Amino acid sequence: MKKITKAVFPVGGMGTRFLPATKSIPKEMLPIIDKPLIQYAVEEAIEAGITTLIFITSASKHAISDHFDPKPLLREKFFKEGKQHLLDKLHTIPNEITRVFVPQGEPLGLGHAVLQAKEIVGDEYFAVILADDFIKPNGNNATSQLIKAAIEKNTSIISVEQVDNERVSQYGIVDIGEAVGSINEIQTIVEKPKLADAPSNLGVIGRYVLSPEIFDLLETTQSDKGGEIQLTDALAQLLHKPKNLYAATLDAKRYDCGHKLGYVQATIDCALEDVQIGNKVSNFIKQL
Q: Which amino acid is at 136?
A: K
Residue 102: CB partners within 8 Å, gap ≥ 6? 54, 55, 56, 57, 116, 117, 120
Whose CA is closest to 172, among 182, 181, 161? 161
Distance CA 150, CA 127 (A): 10
Q: What is residue 278's predicted lDDT score, i.e. its pLDDT?
A: 92
Tens digit of pLDDT at every position of the chain (288 positions): 678 999 999 998 877 888 898 888 889 999 999 999 999 999 999 999 999 999 999 876 788 888 888 788 888 888 888 888 888 888 888 889 999 999 888 888 999 999 999 999 999 999 999 999 999 987 789 999 999 999 999 999 999 999 989 889 888 899 998 877 889 999 999 888 888 888 888 999 999 999 999 999 999 998 888 888 999 999 999 998 888 899 999 988 999 999 999 999 999 999 999 999 999 999 999 998
Residue closest to 13 by CA, chosen among 34, 30, 35: 30
Would you tell me how many other CB atoms lie within 10 Å of the CB of residue 199? 15
* Axis crossing angle, helix 231-238 with helix 213-220, rounded to the nearest 10: 120
The residue type at 28: E
- Phi then psi for 284, rounded to 5 degrees? -65, -45
In order of their start, the domains of the chain are: 6-287 (3.90.550.10)
The length of the chain in residues reads: 288
For residue 52, list its beta bridge partners.
6, 98
68, HSE (Cβ side, Cα atoms, 13 Å): 25
The dihedral of CA 41, 165, 176, 139: what is its sign? positive
Tell me the whole-structure pTM to 2 decimals: 0.92
